[in-house]
Amino acid sequence: MTRPRVQPKDCSDFASPVDVAETVGMTSAGDPTDRHLTDHGRERKQQILDASMELFKERGYRATRIQDICERAGVAKGLFYWYFPTKLDLFTDLLQTVRHRLRQAQTAAMADCTNPVEQIRVCAVATVRFMAKHAAYFDVVDDERAEPTIAKVLEEGHQSYRDDLVRLITEAQASGILPAGNTELLAIGVHGAVISFSKAYRKHQIEGNHDEIAEFAGRWVIDGLYGGTATP
């Protein structure tokens, strides 16, 4: 799909020909619309994403201008628009990038586990820990979640986590590790607890360091699946 052209206001808005050539893989006809990123291109795009994350944390999404992002990243506006037609497109890409990093943290935490209940626990711990470590970013997300495009990306991430939980709970019930129960409701309960503990920590509603809170959340969700009560 061809991106809309953005009219630069001055020469500083243009991406240099070298930047464009090194950023994308041209088609055989020299048409850049295919835009397969080179290593240099991925690096430049990541520069923009990193700069935007810093600024969104410092100033908030709405108060951050595209010009601010370009200056922080050290790129021309033309190169910004090469990747992102609008600031909302950038924020959506940033959401997907962070979601991918969260999934990597969850996957790494479960790598050495074969017991589905233990996988649920360590995944909950990893999720709370990740969200606590990136508290400023998730505070920005909380402020902007009413935007339909952002809400859609967030819900996709939530649904993916709930789907994983349903799969693991079903596996644990089938093997006799967990008692029978409504897997959808149990998954929603685990997911809700993880999000609530994460938000309570970020909003300073509970005391303790993020590792302690994350471990407690892990015990809480497992005791909940067994029908017990977690203890600090």
Q: Report the domain count for the chain.
A: 2
What's this model's pTM, rounded to 2 decimal places? 0.77
Say how far apart CA 109 and CA 118 lie, in whole Å.
10
Q: Are 114 and 161 within one domain? A: yes
Q: Are 130 and 217 within one domain? A: yes
Say how far apart CA 157 and CA 140 lie, in whole Å.
16
Nearest to 121 by CA among 214, 25, 218: 218
Per the document, the length of the chain is 232
CA within 13 Å, CB half, 134: 19
**Does position 12 have pLDDT exceeding 70, yes or no?**
no
Say how far apart CA 86 and CA 130 lie, in whole Å.
28
Q: Is residue 123 part of a domain?
A: yes
Mean pLDDT of 193-213: 92
Say how far apart CA 52 and CA 46 lie, in whole Å.
10
Q: Which domain holds residue 212?
A: 94-226
Final residue belonging to a domain, choices 85, 115, 150: 85
Tell me the pLDDT tens digit for each residue of 101-118.
999 999 999 998 999 999
3-state secondary structure of 36: strand
Tell me the pLDDT tens digit for each residue of 44-64.
999 999 999 999 999 999 999
Q: Is residue 105 part of a domain?
A: yes
Q: Is residue 231 part of a domain?
A: no
pLDDT at 228: 52
Q: Are 137 and 218 within one domain? A: yes
Region of 223 on the Ramachandran plot (φ > 0 left; ψ -120 to 50 alpha; else beta): alpha
Q: Are 103 and 69 within one domain? A: no
Nearest to 123 by CA among 95, 103, 98: 103
* Confidence grade of residue 30 (pLDDT, cut at 50, 70, 90): very low
Q: Are 130 and 222 within one domain? A: yes
Q: Are 50 and 130 within one domain? A: no
Q: Is residue 128 part of a domain?
A: yes
Q: Are 186 and 159 within one domain? A: yes
Q: Are 31 and 131 within one domain? A: no
| CATH assignment at residue 145 | 1.10.357.10
pLDDT at 38: 83
Q: Are 39 and 127 within one domain? A: no
Nearest to 43 by CA among 2, 100, 77, 83: 83
**What is the chain's mean pLDDT, rounded?**
84
Give how far Cα 19 sits from Cα of 14, 82, 121, 161, Å. 10, 10, 46, 38
Q: State which amino acid sits at residue 61.
A: Y
| CATH assignment at residue 78 | 1.10.10.60
Tell me the pLDDT tens digit for each residue of 129-170.
999 999 989 999 998 999 999 999 999 999 999 999 999 999
Q: Is residue 218 part of a domain?
A: yes
Q: Are 33 and 119 within one domain? A: no
Q: In 161-193, which positions are buried (b, 16+ CB within 10 angstroms) versus exposed (e)?
A: bbebbbebbebbbeeeebeeeebeebbebbbeb
Final residue belonging to a domain, choices 50, 85, 120: 85
Q: Are 123 and 158 within one domain? A: yes
Q: Are 137 and 56 within one domain? A: no
Determine phi and psi for 145, rounding to 5 degrees. Answer: -70, -15
DSSP 8-state class, residue 9: S
